[in-house]
Amino acid sequence: MPDSRDIGLELNPNYDANGLITAVATDRATGELLMLAHMNADALAATIATREAHFWSRSRSKLWKKGETSGHVLHVTDIRIDCDQDAIWLIVDPAGPACHTGERSCFYRRIDGDALSPVE
């Protein structure tokens, strides 16, 4: 049965054992999925306050603003949360490629059976 977290209107993120919640960003203009990363409470608060996407870097164990070095920030136009409040959806206007490889989206390869092929 749905509980209050599922259907209520109180923000109550369900962080995992490491204090993290999964966040994905899609392009407002194209609907394309750009990237998936993780947030801690500080990253979510910074994203809400600044309307620029912030995440928690698990590899570097630090808060990071997406684009802080590259300039490819994600301007956040809408923030949504899922039913059980363990995932965040950012609808964004990207200032540049979202992927560290230089691709517009991190999801630039299609799975074809056992192999991958570039989408474009």
Binding of its own copies at residue 117 (CB under 8 A)? Answer: yes
Q: Do residues 119 and 101 lie in contact, with contact meaning Cβ atoms separated by under 8 Å?
A: no
Q: Do residues 47 and 39 lie in contact, with contact meaning Cβ atoms separated by under 8 Å?
A: yes
Answer for which of 63, 64, 75, 103 binds its own copies (CB under 8 A) is 103
Q: Do residues 90 and 26 lie in contact, with contact meaning Cβ atoms separated by under 8 Å?
A: yes
- Of 24-83, which residues contact its own copies (CB under 8 A)? 24, 26, 30-33, 35-36, 48, 78-83
Q: Confirm whether residue 99 is marked as ligand binding.
A: yes
Binding of its own copies at residue 111 (CB under 8 A)? Answer: yes
Residues annotated in the binding site, as ranges?
A: 82-84, 86, 99, 106
